[in-house]
Amino acid sequence: MTGIKDRVYQLAPVPIQNLMVSAYGLYWKRLRFGGNFEPECEGFRKRERFDLDIWERYITAQLQSVLTSAFEHAPHYQQTWSGVTLSQLGRFTLPDLPSLPVLEKQVARDNPLGLLLGGKPQPKHLIFHTSGSTGTPVKTYWLPSEMQRSLAMRETRSCGWANVSFKIPRATFSGRMVEPDPESKGPFYRFNMAEKQVYFSAFHLRPETASFYVQALKDHGIQWMTGYSNSFYQLASMILDQRLKAPPIRAVITTSEKVTPEMREVIEHAFSTKVYEEYGTVEDVFYVCECEHGRKHINPDAGIIEIVDEQMRPVKPGTMGEVLATGFIRPSQPFVRYRVGDLAIMDDQPCPCGRNLPVLSEIVGRLEDTVYAPDGRRMVRFHGIFVNQPHVREGQIIQEKIDLIRVLVVPKNGFDGHDRQDIINRIQQRLTPQMNVQIELVDHIERTANGKFKAVVCALTDEEKRQARGITES
C-alpha cells in the first residue's frame, strides 16, 4: 500500500487497519496461490527425488533455455556477451558457465530494464525492490506465474520439510510498518483474515511488550512462524527471561538474517519447536532451505550457485568464497552469474535425508560485514562474540577505523566490568591485541528501514579497505 492508501491506513483505527490488511491479503493470496500454484507444487515435489543423472539433464536444459532466451531478447546480455553465439549457448553445460562474465549488482541497479526480455516490462509485471542496505535498491520484475512458482517452491520444500503450510495459521516478522504509531500501547500486530496471518511489528518489540506478542499467538491459534531471525530470537529471549508461557509452535522458518547456534537454541526452547533456516534473495536467483536433518540444501530447480574466490575462480568444498547465482524462477528478467554479495561454504558430504540436492555447510555473511584488522586479516564470523554472554541482550559490532571497533551492547541485569572485558578479549583474540575495542551500553540497537538487524557494520571507506587488503596482497 502506497501513497494515499498509506495515509488512510495510518489514520484509521485498528479494526479498520485489520480490514485493510485483510483486503490486501486477499489480493495477494489470489495472486500468489492461484493460477499455476498447484501444478508448480506438484512439479517441485516430483523433482525433489530426482537422481543425480536426471538432475544433471534438468539443470542443463534449464540453463540452456535461460541463456539462449537472455542472449536473444535481453539488451544487457546482447551487448556484453561478445564472442558468444546462440548455437554455443544452446549446447552449454554447467562446466561452461564460468566462461560468461559476472553480472555486477551495480549493473542490476542502474539498468534493470536491460535485463528484461524485450527491454521493457510486460503489462502484468509487478515490481519489487531489494532492501538497498548496500546502496540503491535493485528493481526486480515479476510475472504472476513467476510469483506462483516461487511460492510453490517454498510451500513444497521449506514448509513441506517443516511439516507446515501457507494454508494454516502463521505469524510473520518482516519489515512492514503494520503499527504506524511509534508510541503505541498495542496491539503490536495486525491480522490478515484472508490467510489467518498475524503480522507482527518488528519495531515495537521490547521486554515490556513481549507478553502482548505471546498473547497474539494464543488468541489466533498460530501454528508456525516465519520471518526475521533476530526478531524471533529477541522475542524468545524475552519469553525465557520473563518466564512467559508461549504456546508450542510446529516450526519457525527464518529468513533474511543468519541464524547462529545460540539463536537456534533459544528459539527452539522458548517455543518448543524446531528452527528451519531459509537463504535466498529478493531477486530470487537461488533458494536454500534446511531439511529435517538441519542441512542447508541448494534447490537446483530454483537456480545455480557458484562459490568463487576473488578472481572469480571456483573454490573447493569447505573453502569460503563469494556466491554467484543464475536464476531459473524468473526467466522474464534473467540474472546470469549474478554477484550476490554473500559469502558461503559448499559441503560435499551427502545428507542423511537422501535427497540428491547440493548442500551449503555455512552461510558465512555478507561482503559488507567484513571487518579488517591492522595486520590485513579479514573476519566475517562474529557470532561467537556474544555466545554464552548471559548479561547481553543483543550486540552490534561497528568498525570505525582500521584499529578501532565500537561495540553497542544492550545489557541485561548483572552486566559489569567482567562482561565488558570478556567482549574485548574475544574480539582481540579473533583479530589482534592491537585492536582498540570500545564498549557502549545502549537501550536498543537501531533496525534498518525494513526492520532488519545488522550484527556487523563496517564504516571504513573504500580506500581504507583497499589499504587493509593491500597489507596481505603486497
- Encode pLDDT of 257-277 as tens digits: 888 888 899 999 999 999 999
Could you tell me which residue, 382 or 333, shows the higher pLDDT?
333
Given this model, what pLDDT does residue 10 score? 87
Query: How would you write 292-327 as a 3-class SS string?
Result: CCCCEEECCCCEEEEEECCCCCECCCCCEEEEEEEE
Rounded distance between C-alpha atoms, residue 200 and residue 216, angstroms? 9
pLDDT at position 200 over 80:
yes
Residue 473 confidence (pLDDT): 44
Residue 3 CA, distance from chain mean position: 27
Residues in Cβ contact with 440 at an 8 Å cutoff, skipping those fewer than 6 apart: 406, 407, 408, 409
100-117 average pLDDT score: 94
Across all residues in the chain, what is the average pLDDT?
A: 90
Residue position matching grid coordinates 524446531: 274
Domain positions in the chain are 4-33+163-273, 37-148+281-367, 370-473
- Select the more confidently predicted residue: 470 or 322: 322
Return d(Cα 117, Cα 413) in angstroms, integer: 57
Cβ–Cβ under 8 Å, residues 266 and 240: yes
pLDDT at 445: 84
3-state helix vs strand vs coil in the chain, percent to 5 = 40, 25, 40
Q: Model's pTM, two decimal places?
A: 0.82
Lowest-pLDDT range of 7-16, 141-150, 193-202, 427-436: 427-436
- For 284-304, write each residue's pLDDT tens digit: 999 999 999 999 999 999 999
Closest C-alpha among 434, 421, 426 to residue 372: 434
Residue 394: how many other CB atoms lie within 10 Å: 20
Rounded Cα distance, 195 and 223, in Å:
13
Burial class (CB within 10 angstroms; exposed 0-12, middle 13-18, buried 19+) of 161: buried
Residue-wise pLDDT tens digits, 302-354 = 999 999 998 999 999 999 999 999 999 999 999 999 999 888 999 999 999 99
User: Which whole number is the average pLDDT over 146-173?
Assistant: 97
CATH code of 370-473, in short, is: 3.30.300
CATH for 37-148+281-367 is: 3.40.50.12780
Distance from chain centroid for Cα 467: 30
Per CATH, 4-33+163-273 and 37-148+281-367 having the same topology is answered: yes
Q: What is the mean pLDDT of residues 419-446?
A: 87
Return phi, psi of residue 374, to 5°.
-60, -25
Of 412 and 269, which is predicted with more confidence? 269
**Between 3.20.20, 3.30.300, 3.40.50, 3.90.228, what CATH number should domain 4-33+163-273 receive?**
3.40.50
Question: 418: which residues sit within 8 A by CB, 6+ positions away?
Answer: none
Distance in angstroms (rounded) separating the CA atoms of residues 445 and 6? 26
